[in-house]
Amino acid sequence: DLDALDRRAAELLARPLTADSAVQVALLNNRGLQATYQELGIAEADLVQASRLPNPGFSFARLRRGHEVEYDRTFSFDLGHLIALPFAAQLEGRRFEAIQRSVAMEMLQVASEARKAFYAAVAAEQSVRYMLDVKATADAGAELARRLAQAGNINKLQQAREHGFFSEAALNLARAQQARTAARERLARALGLWGDQLIYTLPERLPDLPKEPADQPDIEQQAMAQRLDVQSARLHLD
């Protein structure tokens, strides 16, 4: 039900977004994924159909030749289909597993894009706040330099340096604000937001980094063994 999906997305967007809630919104709003779910349902129906016995056939005919009447009754059964039933069920089972992994891989890609866009947007928001503090400090320094120059306590070169720092801070703030707008737009596209959904709240800062990096010496072997697209390709090959 699309209305139920929209209501759930609205509930998540009513609160400040987190990485996990952003992924949920992206999965709920992605219409391409919903179409892929239908493909998965079709594959499951094909698997069920392939596992069933073929329907027998029955025909009845009445022939009249003058005063003679003949009745023809025929009962038929697809013996070839019955013999091939185990192989067809196995084939459709592998195909269903391959589509399952393809759908799961597509979901992971959507989730990954949403998570990356979320962190980029939060980082852009945090950068704007930092640049606002820098500009406020530069503004105070430029005002102090102006007053000191009027009192004759600093020369024109020192005053120009303070004003140059203020101008650079203002330029960096404008760049950070532009980057924030672009990051929020990327996040909106990744989450499939539109209309009233574009009004959402982000956290003020990024989460703290872990104290030490995770030790994963076999990460390459794990990736090759657990990647869903590799598993799907193997099943398609089989």
Cα–Cα distance for residue pair 132/61, rounded to 1 Å? 90
pLDDT at residue number 1 = 64
The tokens of 165 are what?
């720092």
- In terms of Cβ atoms closer than 10 Å to its own Cβ (0-12, 13-18, 19+), residue 223 is exposed
Q: Terminal CA-to-CA distance of the chain, rounded, Å?
A: 36
Averaged pLDDT of the chain: 84
pLDDT at residue number 32 = 79
Asked if the model's pLDDT at residue 84 lies above 80, the reply is no
Residues 27 and 111 sit within 8 Å (Cβ to Cβ): yes
Which run of H or E residues covers position 43?
A: helix 31-50
Asked if the model's pLDDT at residue 50 lies above 80, the reply is no
Asked if the model's pLDDT at residue 194 lies above 70, the reply is yes
For residue 145, name the pLDDT band (cuts at 50, 70, 90).
Answer: confident
* C-alpha distance from residue 4 to each of 40, 46, 89, 190 (Å): 21, 28, 35, 20
pLDDT at residue number 175 = 95
Cβ neighbours of 217 (radius 10 Å) = 7
Residues 106 and 30 sit within 8 Å (Cβ to Cβ): no
Of the segments 24-33, 84-93, 168-177, 223-232, which one has the largest average pLDDT value? Answer: 168-177
Length of the chain: 238
Cα–Cα distance for residue pair 150/143, rounded to 1 Å? 11
For residue 8, name the pLDDT band (cuts at 50, 70, 90).
Answer: confident
Q: Residues of the chain with pLDDT > 90: what percent? A: 25
Of the segments 15-29, 62-76, 145-159, 195-209, which one has the largest average pLDDT value? Answer: 15-29
* C-alpha distance from residue 151 to each of 146, 154, 156 (Å): 9, 8, 12
What average pLDDT does the segment 29-40 reach?
Answer: 77
pLDDT at residue number 108 = 86
pLDDT at residue number 186 = 94
Cβ neighbours of 47 (radius 10 Å) = 19
pLDDT tens for 148-186 read 888 877 788 887 888 888 889 999 999 999 999 999 999
SS3 string, 120-148, reads HHHHHHHHHHHHHHHHHHHHHHHHHHHHH
What average pLDDT does the segment 71-81 reach?
Answer: 77
